[in-house]
A and B are shown apart, each in its own frame.
Chain A
Amino acid sequence: MSNGKAAKDVMIGIFEYPHVPYWFTISQAIRIVKVSFISTKKYPDPMAILVFDEKYNLMGTLTLKDILRGLEPRFLKPSAKAQVAEENESALSLIWDTLFDKGSKEFAERPVSEIMTPAKYFVEPTDPLTKAAYLMLHHDLILLPVLENKKKFVGLVRMIEVFDEISNGILKE
C-alpha cells in the first residue's frame, strides 16, 4: 500500500524544526515559537519544537498545544472523577483570563521537560512506512523520530507524508 517505501524515503531533516535543551523555560520556548514561526510566517505542519538532553539526544517534542496546556491553571485540568454525568466545564475557562497574570506567568518559568511529549517511539531509516503509520496512529503522534542504529537522530516522519504515501496505494487503479 505504501509502495514499499521506507521511513528514509519520506523523512524530513531535523533542522526544519527549532531545537531546545530540556532546561529551557516555557517562556523561552514561547519566544522561540514567535521568532521561528510567527514572525517569519513559516507555519510547518506540525508546528513543533524538538527537545534535547545535554548530549544532544532527543527527549521529546513540544507543540503549541503542549505549551498552552502547560500554561493552563490547574483547576481547568481534568481530574479523576466518580462515574457521574459530565458537566460543561468550558465556562470555567473565562476565569483563566483573570488569573493569567498570576498563575500562567509562574507556570511559564517551568522547564519545557515538564510539559513536552516524551519521545518513546521511533523507527529506523529502513523501516517500512506502514510501521511508522502504525506507531503514529496507535500512540497519537504528530511526529515520529527516525533513529539510526537506535541512537543517531537523523530525521522525522510526519503524518502528511505517511498519509500521502498510503493514500496513493488506495487510489491506485
Chain B
Amino acid sequence: MELIDRENHQKLYLQLFSIIRKKIESGEWPVGSQIPTEEELCHMFSVSRATVRNAVLDLVRQGYLKRQQGKGTFICRRMLSEGLVMTASIREVLFDEKLNISTNVLAKTVMMPIDELDVMLDIQPDKHIIYVKRLRLIDNEPVLLQETYIPYHICPLLLEEDVEHQSLLDICEKKFGIKITSVKSCIDVAVLNHNEGGLLKQAEGSCAILLMQYFYSGETLILYTRSVKNQNRFQLIMEHERKII
C-alpha cells in the first residue's frame, strides 16, 4: 500500500489526496463503496485527523467523494465534461433578470465554524466567520435559500453592509477591493430539513437542488455559499463561453 512520504516536501494532505484519488481511479475503491472512517484513515496513513479531513474535503469538492450525514463518505461517479475550457460570468446565482426578484435577509451575524466549515474555509477552528442567510423570492414566492460563510478577517465591515439589495460579490469587489478570480460550483441533491422546508414552502424530507459555490481570490477562499432551490417553475441559469486559447 502506498504510504505518506515524510521526506517529500509536498503537504501531507496533498499526498493523501493523491493516494486516495489513485485508489478511486484505479477501481481499488469502487464507485458506491464507503471509504474508511476518518479515524481508520488516520491509523492507515499515520496522519492527523486534520490532514485526513483536508484531503477528504478536497476529494468531495472535486466530485470524487460524497458525504452522507450520519452514514459516512462514499465514492461517487465523477461527471465532468472534459476537453473544453470555458469562461463563466461569476455570480452568486443567476435568475432571469426580467423576473421580479426580492430578497429577505434572515440572518447576518457572526459565528464559529462548525460542521467542518473551518476546513472548507481553510481557517483555524477558533476563528470567527460571518454568516448570511437569505431567502430569494420571485413574485413573492420563495425559490432559493442561500447561506453564505465568510471568514471574518477577510471582510469585517461586511456586517455593516446592506445585503438585501446588493450582491455579496459586488460588496467584496467594489467596496473592499477583493477581486474574485475563480469559482468552483458543485451541484447535488439536498433533502430539506424542517427549517428549510418551512422557508421554501416544501414538505420536510422533500428533495431540492443543492448548489455549493466556492469563491476564490487567487488561492484564498473568500466565501462559501450553499444554495438550496425548491421544485418550482423557475430555473437556475449558468452561462459559459468557450475560451479562446
Contact = CB atoms under 8 A, between A and B. Distances in A.
Given A15-B128, A19-B128, A40-B126, A35 B109 contact: no
Contacts, number: 45
B111 A21 contact: yes
A63 interface: no
Interface residues of B, number: 15
Interface string A44-73: 000000001111100000000000000000
B159 A56 contact: yes
Given A35-B125, A35-B126, A56-B159, A19 B111 contact: yes
A32 B114 contact: yes
B114 A53 contact: no
A18 B112 contact: yes
A54 B108 contact: yes
A36 B124 CA distance: 10
A90 B26 CA distance: 61
B112 A55 contact: no
Contacts of B159: 56
Contacts of B133: 54
Interface string A5-20: 0000000000100111
Given A35-B126, A36-B126, A40-B126, A21 B114 contact: no
A18 B126 contact: yes
A56 B114 CA distance: 18
Contacts of A163: none
Interface of A: 15, 18-21, 24, 28, 31-32, 35-36, 40, 42, 52-56
Given A54-B107, A56-B109, 4 more contacts: A21-B107, A21-B109, A21-B111, A36-B112
Interface of B: 106-112, 114, 125-126, 128, 131, 133, 152, 159
